[in-house]
Amino acid sequence: MLNRISFIGGGVMAEAMVQGLLSRKLVSPSSIIVSEPRRERREELKAKYQVLVTDRNVKVAVTSQVVVLCVKPQDVQNVLAELKGHLKAGQLIISIVAGTRLTTISEGVGHGAVVRVMPNTPAQCGEGMSVWTATKAVTKTQFESSKAILGAFGKELFMQDEKFLDMATAVSGTGPTYVFLVMEAMIDAAVHLGFPRHIAYELVTETIRGSIVYAIKSGKHPAELRNLVTSPGGTSAAALYQLEKGGLRTVISKAILAAYERSRSLGEQGATVHGKETRT
């Protein structure tokens, strides 16, 4: 069990992590401290989870074994500069900040042991998928702690090479957005046919949920499952013809590539900003 874990930024993802850690009893509420600038949000987190709250980033960082950076990419440089020189050997930084590279964090804060994670929003209900990597300075114990922390709100997958983080950003990090858009399109189409909206919602969500559970349990490739239900001249064949004609596969492939390129360019911008800051 961790003595103390702190979160810098008390937003959506920090809350998902706090919830996961508490529900798995990995830490007690009094071992969690969240640093958050907005008073109403601090009070909300304190009332909901009985965790400690503050608005002083440095104060929480220096007293914690693990410091989790949960701010938006545009705020991370300020936080790194604020923390610089305050962390000691034995402490671990875990960053969930999208696109911000290990070197940007490590050099920005002047600390070697850093873990970079790409989680996703289903973490909010304990069904997240987190892909992570670590600097060489991360010890075996810190590695195991990171695994346990990230496993508290879903599945976690360690990748040795940081290049996979930008790829994961495009596939699993941004992935829920693609799924929600498909859900929305199917619901609207069902309404267009004549279903009341609440029934359309249930039909679509249960179909997607059931298909995912079935695919995982069967262990079969999606193409095989699809072929099993595509009878000659049937409804699936008619629908698939239109999906292929509309370029569904190409559009999905282009979307994932665009998200990947955007993640890489955000990482490059962060590295450049950091480079400028250290020179001044």
Ligand X SMILES: NC(=O)c1ccc[n+]([C@@H]2O[C@H](COP(=O)([O-])OP(=O)(O)OC[C@H]3O[C@@H](n4cnc5c(N)ncnc54)[C@H](OP(=O)(O)O)[C@@H]3O)[C@@H](O)[C@H]2O)c1
CB of 190 to ligand X, least distance (A): 27
Task: Report, in angstroms and rounded to the nearest whole number, the Rg of the chain calculated over CA atoms.
Answer: 22
Q: Between residues 18 and 204, which has the closer beta carbon with respect to ligand X?
A: 18
In the region spanning residues 165 to 204, those forming contacts with ligand X, defined by CB under 6 A, are 173
Those residues whose C-beta lies under 8 Å from the C-beta of residue 213, and which sit 6 or more positions away, are: none
Q: Read off the tokens for 166.
A: 């930008």
Q: Between residues 68 and 138, which has the closer beta carbon with respect to ligand X?
A: 68
Q: Is 75 in the site for ligand X (CB under 6 A)?
A: yes
In the region spanning residues 86 to 125, those forming contacts with ligand X, defined by CB under 6 A, are 96-98, 118-121
Q: How many CB atoms lie under 10 A from the CB of residue 62?
A: 15
Q: Is 28 in the site for ligand X (CB under 6 A)?
A: no
Contact 152, 94 (CB under 8 A): no
- What DSSP character marks residue 221? -
Q: Is 79 in the site for ligand X (CB under 6 A)?
A: yes
| Choices 67-75, 149-157, 237-245, 257-265; region in contact with ligand X by CB under 6 A | 67-75
Q: Is 156 in the site for ligand X (CB under 6 A)?
A: no
Q: Read off the tokens for 11.
A: 């937003």
Task: Report the distance separating Cα 133 and Cα 158, nearest Å.
Answer: 6
Task: Report the distance separating Cα 9 and Cα 104, nearest Å.
Answer: 18
| Choices 3-11, 153-161, 184-192, 211-219; region in contact with ligand X by CB under 6 A | 3-11
Q: Which residues pair with 154 in a beta bridge?
A: 128
- Using CB under 6 A, list all residues that contact ligand X: 8-14, 35-38, 41, 57, 70-73, 75, 78-79, 96-98, 118-121, 173
